[in-house]
Amino acid sequence: MYLYKKRNWPVQVDKLLDGLRAAAEGTRLRVLALCSETELSVSELTQILRQSQPRVSRHLKLMVAAGLLERFREGTWAFYRIAEAGSNRRLARTLIELVPEDDPIRLRDKEQLNAVRQDRARRAADFFSENANNWDDIRRLHVDDASVERALADILPPQKGWDHIDIGTGTGRILEIVAPYTRRAIGIDLSHEMLTVARSNLARSELTNCHVRYGDMRQLELESESFDVATFHLVLHYADDPASVIREAARLLRPGGRIIVIDFAPHDEARLRDVYAHRWLGFTDSEVKSWFRGAEFDPATSVQLAGTPLTVCLWSADRPGES
């Protein structure tokens, strides 16, 4: 039974009261604090809280409904994170700030959270040890990663505070690069194993403004005009229809937004198709720019970084601003 008198509150006040009621319980406040650190699955929260899965699920359902947490699917899994959008996102952050860092329960939860992160790191390390030769084999064919990252830095927006989407995020390396400059950065990938690697890397670097999502670059379940920059780092050559993938990324960008594609110039390394499932053996300057124009973006001058035998190109284009 609630102690306030029922009345016709404005919608914003009703939502605020919903958020306050949802957070006003010990376990739910603990969940909110944990999900402000990183995205967590039901099973991981069950492990940390030492509570049953049905009980934890009920708490999560209530907090999502109240706008304190966000829920997103990753195959058969569901992950939860503190709300990044909606009317109660500020309330969620404010409540976390009010919980003392030295509270014994919070400290114990953080110890259990570290155990979860260590398990993620172990699984990421196992995946890397099984696949490291693949990455090394391709890296030997093109210019070093540091050169590519310096070139990328030159074409990112000069101002700080943008919203970033990295499509085909892989290990999350692009998120690590842009994290100091973005308000938020989301990485999308279709590989559960790569998402495990990316989560581990982001947790190790304590990048709380970055998170990853399971998703298909052909159809991104994200709101239109909700980002400022979209990047594709050595991923577009896997797309069956690169033009449609570019259009889908363009849909997500606000007026003035920028798409950046990092990929290979045309080459003859057929084994990349045969062994590593590359759909395309590089792209020409004209075809990438034609895809940008088809999405109603204005292409900029491309950058080429010659390697042996692969040349890495950085293409970018901007969406015209509002008139």
Tell me: pLDDT of 95 over 60. yes
Residues 156 and 301 occupy one common structural domain: yes
The pLDDT-based confidence of 42 (bands split at 50, 70, 90) is: very high
What phi and psi values does residue 304 have, to the nearest 5 degrees?
Answer: -120, 130
**Per-residue confidence (pLDDT) for residue 1, from 0 to 100:** 36
What phi and psi values does residue 155 have, to the nearest 5 degrees?
Answer: -110, 5
In this predicted model, which residue has the larger pLDDT, 117 or 287?
Answer: 287
pTM over 0.75: no
Per-residue pLDDT tens over the stretch 100-112: 989 999 999 999 9
CATH number for position 311: 3.40.50.150
In this structure, what token pair is assigned to residue 243? 């033009």
**Which residues are paired to 41 by β-bridges?**
79
Per-residue pLDDT tens over the stretch 176-217: 999 999 999 999 998 888 888 888 888 888 888 999 998 888
Per DSSP, the three-state class of 46 is helix
Residues 24 and 167 occupy one common structural domain: no
Number of domains in the chain: 2
Residues 148 and 31 occupy one common structural domain: no
Q: What is the 3-state secondary structure (H, E, C) of the chain?
A: CCCCCCCCCCHHHHHHHHHHHHHCCHHHHHHHHHHCCCCEEHHHHHHHHCCCHHHHHHHHHHHHHCCCEEEEEECCEEEEEECCCCCCHHHHHHHHHHCCCCCHHHHHHHHHHHHHHHHHHHHHHHHHHHHHHHHHHHHCCCCCHHHHHHHHHHHCCCCCCEEEEEECCCCCHHHHHHCCCEEEEEEEECCHHHHHHHHHHHHHCCCCCEEEEECECCECCCCCCCEEEEEEECCHHHCCCHHHHHHHHHHCEEEEEEEEEEEECCCCCCHHHHCCCCCCCCCCHHHHHHHHHHCCCEECCCEEECCCCCCEEEEEEECCCCC
**Per-residue confidence (pLDDT) for residue 273, from 0 to 100:** 81
Residues 148 and 99 occupy one common structural domain: no
Rounded CA separation 36/47 (Å): 17
CATH number for position 105: 1.10.10.10
Tell me: pLDDT of 305 over 50. yes
In this predicted model, which residue has the larger pLDDT, 217 or 137?
Answer: 217
Burial class (CB in 10 A: 0-12, 13-18, 19+), 219: exposed
In a domain, 1, yes or no: no
In a domain, 262, yes or no: yes
Note the maximum CA span of the chain. 74
Tell me: pLDDT of 323 over 70. no
Residues 270 and 313 occupy one common structural domain: yes
Q: How high does pLDDT run on average in the chain? A: 88
- For 136-162, what is the mean pLDDT? 86
Residues 234 and 106 occupy one common structural domain: no
**Residue indicated by tokens 């379940």:** 221
Rounded CA separation 210/186 (Å): 6
Residues 184 and 286 occupy one common structural domain: yes
Q: Can you give the residue range of the structural domain that contains 145?
A: 141-318
Cα–Cα–Cα angle for 145, 146, 151, nearest 5°? Answer: 100
Rounded CA separation 40/36 (Å): 10
Residues 283 and 162 occupy one common structural domain: yes
Residues 284 and 191 occupy one common structural domain: yes
The pLDDT-based confidence of 2 (bands split at 50, 70, 90) is: very low
CB 24 within 8 A of CB 38: no
- For 89-98, what is the mean pLDDT? 91
Could you write out the DSSP letters of every residue in 207-243? -TTEEEEE-BTTB--S-TT-EEEEEEES-GGG-S-HH
